[in-house]
């Protein structure tokens, strides 16, 4: 069973490993602790990163298209 900090790769199912950790201090409210994990298989992680980049580009294109439409 995985503990709270462990997750699995969405592509291969291996337990992800710690990459880096940083703290973001906000103007209002509490600070946020970020933890970045990656797949231990470097080639698998490259595929996952490329897939997320493609999804991000598609989402931004849709958002930009929506902003260009004006309802009168």
> How confident is the model over 15-39, as pLDDT tens digits?
999 999 999 999 888 999 999 999 9
* Position 72 confidence tier, pLDDT thresholds 50, 70, 90: low
On whether residue 51 sits in a domain, the answer given is: yes
What is the per-residue pLDDT for 53? Answer: 97
The parent domain of residue 47 ranges over 17-68
CA gap 54, 29 in Å, rounded: 33
On whether residue 3 sits in a domain, the answer given is: no
On whether residue 8 sits in a domain, the answer given is: no
pLDDT at 70 over 80: no
Residue 39 burial class via C-beta count within 10 angstroms: exposed 0-12, middle 13-18, buried 19 and up: buried
On whether residue 61 sits in a domain, the answer given is: yes
Indicate the number of domains in the chain: 1
On whether residue 11 sits in a domain, the answer given is: no
What is the average pLDDT across 43-66?
Answer: 95
């Amino acid at each position: 069973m995985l503990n709270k900090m462990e997750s699995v790769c969405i592509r291969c199912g291996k337990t992800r490993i710690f990459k880096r950790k940083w703290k973001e201090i906000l103007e209002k409210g509490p600070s946020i602790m970020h933890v970045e994990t990656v797949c231990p298989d470097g080639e698998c992680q490259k595929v996952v990163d490329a897939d997320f980049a493609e999804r991000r580009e598609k989402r931004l294109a849709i958002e930009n298209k929506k902003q260009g439409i004006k309802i009168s």
